[in-house]
């Protein structure tokens, strides 16, 4: 496994692999790697010839400086996981390699969806995400990039950006959310939860599965599903509901009736961390 710090060396390595006829699987991360990231590495390993990983905590997508300062970092453990999962190339750049002084970078517009849900809770977040992901794609070159469904709104916006800019040569693959045994979505932020909060954090998944069950049993009113999710999270003493919604998979906009492929999304604040999760809603059983 090769570790590079500067953008030029990372690009040289991916170019050399492509010149040799290999496809590149690219897994962008902010480090503190866990089982969710591992699943992306494995998907890349099975679907592409060479696996490239980036590890970069992007300050531009944090609107709260304390949140950025608290973000967990453990490069040695990250490199060990990349190596164990058969990554070929890791790019762990310093800030100036991602945002070089005097270089004008593309600022893709997240549009209206960028102001909803996570974008409403974290103003400027998706502009920061698309800025860094576009830069990472520019440096990595043509590839298949793997993203988690855990961050469904991010996946939607990144996929739309890649589709709108075919010159990037990037195809996006979404990978299923990896969960703890009680259903809590794996996240770098889970380590911040003390035991009582950790126990109650399963309420997000409970809310989503209850909504999914209602959809399977024939409920077509999205507001009824939203109410079910809000009730479940609202009944959890340490959780404060941020949002619960049902969105159209094709537009990420809220829907009233489940007559298109839809996804339920939730966010809740606990005293020690803010958690998000989502689930694809099944069609009603015949």
What is the binding site for ligand AMP (CB under 6 A)?
A: 29-30, 36-37, 39-40, 147-148, 150-151, 175, 177-178, 185-188
- Residue 107 annotated in active site: no
Q: Are 190 and 204 in contact (CB under 8 A)?
A: no
Sign of CA dihedral 241, 179, 151, 211: negative
Q: Which is nearer to ligand AMP, 140 or 258 (CB)?
A: 140
Least Å from the CB of residue 29 to ligand AMP: 4
Least Å from the CB of residue 263 to ligand AMP: 14
Question: What distance in Å separates the CA atoms of residue 278 and residue 187, rounded to the nearest whole number?
Answer: 13
Q: Which is nearer to ligand AMP, 258 or 277 (CB)?
A: 277
Dihedral, 276, 80, 15, 46 alpha carbons, nearest 10: -70
Q: Which is nearer to ligand AMP, 82 or 175 (CB)?
A: 175
Least Å from the CB of residue 184 to ligand AMP: 9
Query: Tokens representing 274?
Result: 């803010």
Residue 219, judged by CB atoms within 10 A of its CB (0-12, 13-18, 19+), counts as middle
Active-site option among 34, 37, 125, 134: 37
Measured distance between the N- and C-terminal CA atoms of the chain, rounded to whole angstroms: 50
Q: Which is nearer to ligand AMP, 212 or 255 (CB)?
A: 212
Active site residues: 37
């Amino acid at each position: 496994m090769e570790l590079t710090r500067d953008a030029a060396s990372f690009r040289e390595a991916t170019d050399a692999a492509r010149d040799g006829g290999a496809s590149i699987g690219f897994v962008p991360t902010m480090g503190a790697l866990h089982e969710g990231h591992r699943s992306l590495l494995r998907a890349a390993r099975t679907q592409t010839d060479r696996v490239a990983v980036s590890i970069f905590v992007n300050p531009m997508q944090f609107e709260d400086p304390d949140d950025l300062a608290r973000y967990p970092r453990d490069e040695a453990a990250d490199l060990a996981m990349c190596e164990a999962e058969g990554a070929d190339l890791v790019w762990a750049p310093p800030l100036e390699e991602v945002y070089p002084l005097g270089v004008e970078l593309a600022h893709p517009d997240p549009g209206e969806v960028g102001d909803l849900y996570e974008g409403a809770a974290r103003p400027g977040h998706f502009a920061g995400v698309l800025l860094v992901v576009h830069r990472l794609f520019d440096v990595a070159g043509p590839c298949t990039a793997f993203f988690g469904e855990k961050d469904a709104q991010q996946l939607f916006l990144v996929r739309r950006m890649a589709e709108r800019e075919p010159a990037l040569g990037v195809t996006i693959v979404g990978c299923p959310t990896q969960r703890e045994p009680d259903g809590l979505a794996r996240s770098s932020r889970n380590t911040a939860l003390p035991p009582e909060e950790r126990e109650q954090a399963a309420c997000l998944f409970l809310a989503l599965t209850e909504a999914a069950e209602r959809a399977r049993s024939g409920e077509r009113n999205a507001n009824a599903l939203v109410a079910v999710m809000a009730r479940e999270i609202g009944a959890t003493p340490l959780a404060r509901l941020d949002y619960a919604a049902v969105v159209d998979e094709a537009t990420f906009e809220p829907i009233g009736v489940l007559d298109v492929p839809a996804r339920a999304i939730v966010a809740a604040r606990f005293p020690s961390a803010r958690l998000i999760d989502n689930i694809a809603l099944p069609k009603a059983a015949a």
